[in-house]
Amino acid sequence: MTKLLRSLTLVLCLLLAWSRGAAETAPLIANINARHTVSLDGQWQAIVDPYDVGALDYRAQPLKNNNAFFKNYKPQSESELVEYDFDTSGQLQVPGDWNTQRDSLLFYEGSVWYKRTFDYAQSPKNRLFVHFGACNYFAAVYLNGEELGEHEGGFTPFDFEITDRVRAHDNFLVLRVNNARGKDQVPTVNTDWWNYGGITRPVTLVEVPDTFVQDYFIQVEKGTTNQIKGWLQLNGRQPQQNVTIRIPEAGVSRTFQTDSRGRAEFSFRADLTLWSPENPKLYNVEIAAETDQATDRIGFRSIEVRGTDILLNGKPIFLRGISLHEEAPMRASRAWSDDDARTLLGWAKELGCNFVRLAHYPHNEAMLRMADQMGVLVWEEVPVYWTIQWENPGTLHNAENQLKEMIARDHNRAALIIYSVANETPVSDARNRFLRQLIQDAHSADSTRLVSAALQANGVSEGGHITIHLNDPIASDLDVLGNNEYIGWYVHRPEEADSIDWASEYGKPLIMSEFGGDALFGNHGDALARWTEEYQENLYQHQLVMLKRIPFLRGMTPWVLKDFRSPRRTLPRMEDYFNRKGLVSDHGEKKKAFFVLQKFYRELQSAPPR
């Protein structure tokens, strides 16, 4: 499809959305926890609505009257027919997936309506926004019986401005959250993780001045270690202001003028202690405009590729990683809190990691901020996973929007070094075009970070010897190559890995972004018996023999830190709807393979730098 035709189609999709009355979400407010906020977390009233009767009449037409649940209507007489009532319906905890709050909702896919009321005494000069950390998968948001707008994408934040809609008492905020999967969605219908639905991350009221510091990007300029380059964005009726950036501990104080759009771009020298896993140095950074100020904790470091090396602060680094899903330790439900992040990253550090792959979608912001504090580098990705509808312009727009929202939220996090645009996507011209667009978007949005994807190479048997060639067409567009392989689990026997070679004509660093095998914790047998800890342990031992021989390998993120729920994994006793490739069980118990990898990482750590 020509670029012009695709753009026209895109405009049509946007007009359609707009015409449906779906207001656009407000521009994302950076670092909301540093603002004046009120949490709306807690028990919300909830109505489970599998047939969307709260939104559609019996002819499947949108409800316009008081039968629409977002009206939160109460019968005015005993004879009036109203067939819903939030206040006598059940409750659900927010944040949290609904699947693990009620047995009846474990497999539920459809709509749930949420409602909570709040009073708000807003200062007349200020503006008020409602911020959602994430809702999976689709959310329609209403305040006091009026639609605020919609958001699609289950793992990125969004805001709506409610300045002129909020009242002092009895505000009622209603959401329809729907987690039904769709072929044209991102992700599409087939995944290997649980489709946790709901308001899965915190909900916060954010009060800001009439003109406020909306967003900023303050990072080390690519290719330097002492030059800060970035921009800041004001939002409001006084866009042209003097804005000062201060890093008190580094003696930095620089003042800039924002233009008529409220934007200032800047570049200045600063001698800072660089952030690294060994020394995760964070600075207090103050952004002071005339009408607002924001502070953030930011680390400064450089990341780049030189040939097949990845350089952190100019020095080659090997990324000792592990992959993980956003699943709470010990609870097997959506993770979202500082405590969850601290435990999960603590297990990774105990494993000897300096790196994590946050699969297969943007994790919650607490994970990124905790990684900054704990000194764990991060690969983050959008859920462009498996068989996406590559020819669908709406699907591409959705993927681009999720990538944009992920970058907008996390672009000041020093720990974050890699954006990944895809996981195990079947090669085709349409898929290559789709991914090249995402790669270009990522590079344009943030030139300081590396772009990768988890690809799948193909093995070629030559005279009985197997050589696996990295030959995915989009490899030439990536900074770092990722590759998933399951030698010893899905293909070949574990010991065959010892003699398998890898080849790449790209001259780029490789991160082996997945390998592994299943084991049920406590299930023991000999190394040939599947599902035993010994099988998984043996598989890891042979994997490491192979990986050590790959000359352009610069990191690995074995699959996976912790067993996680999956609808694909139905084998009774062994799986019971869990993917068992974890090195840690869903009860936090470490399997034998954990210690194989831990030993390897400790040897790497003590080995002299290359």
Nearest distance in Å: CB 599, ligand GCU: 23
Amino acid of residue 563: D
- Token pair of 410, please? 């996390």
Kindly write out the interface string for residues 346-375 of this chain, putting x where it contacts ligand GCU by CB under 6 A and - elsewhere.
--------------x---------------
**Rounded distance between C-alpha atoms, residue 308 and residue 306, angstroms:** 6
Q: Is 479 in the site for ligand GCU (CB under 6 A)?
A: no
Q: Are 356 and 557 in contact (CB under 8 A)?
A: yes
**Rounded distance between C-alpha atoms, residue 470 and residue 551, angstroms:** 13
Residue closer to ligand GCU (CB basis): 303 or 435: 435
Residue closer to ligand GCU (CB basis): 324 or 475: 324
Q: Which of 581, 583, 596, 600 binds ligand GCU (CB under 6 A)?
A: 581
Residue closer to ligand GCU (CB basis): 359 or 407: 359
Q: Are 520 and 581 in contact (CB under 8 A)?
A: no
Q: How far is CA 96 from each of CA 47, 113, 201, 405, rounded to the nearest angstrom? A: 15, 14, 7, 21
**Rounded distance between C-alpha atoms, residue 436 and residue 7, angstroms:** 16
Q: Is 409 in the site for ligand GCU (CB under 6 A)?
A: no
Q: Which of 235, 423, 425, 543 binds ligand GCU (CB under 6 A)?
A: 423
29-38: b or e for each residue (b if 16 or more CB lie within 10 Å)?
Answer: bbbbeebebe
Distance of CA 240 to the CA centre of its chain: 34
Nearest distance in Å: CB 169, ligand GCU: 47
Give the number of other CB atoms < 10 A from CB of residue 346.
Answer: 14
**Rounded distance between C-alpha atoms, residue 97 and residue 173, angstroms:** 18
Number of chain residues interacting with ligand GCU (CB under 6 A): 9
Kindly write out the interface string for residues 482-501 of this chain, putting x where it contacts ligand GCU by CB under 6 A and - elsewhere.
--x-----------------
Task: State the DSSP H helix or E strand holding residue 230, giving kind and residue range, or none if neither.
Answer: strand 227-235
Residue closer to ligand GCU (CB basis): 579 or 585: 579
Nearest distance in Å: CB 482, ligand GCU: 10
Which residues in 173-202 contact ligand GCU (CB under 6 A)? 192
Amino acid of residue 481: L
Residue closer to ligand GCU (CB basis): 456 or 523: 456
Q: Is 559 in the site for ligand GCU (CB under 6 A)?
A: yes
Q: Is 452 in the site for ligand GCU (CB under 6 A)?
A: no
Nearest distance in Å: CB 88, ligand GCU: 41
Q: Is 536 in the site for ligand GCU (CB under 6 A)?
A: no
Report the length, in residues, of the chain: 610
Instruction: Report the candidate in 176, 194, 203, 189 with the shortest Cα–Cα distance to residue 52.
Output: 176
Q: Is 563 in the site for ligand GCU (CB under 6 A)?
A: no
Residue closer to ligand GCU (CB basis): 246 or 581: 581
Q: Which of 332, 579, 584, 591 binds ligand GCU (CB under 6 A)?
A: 579
Distance of CA 522 to the CA centre of its chain: 32
- Residue ranges that bind ligand GCU, judged by CB under 6 A: 192, 360, 423-424, 484, 514, 559, 579, 581
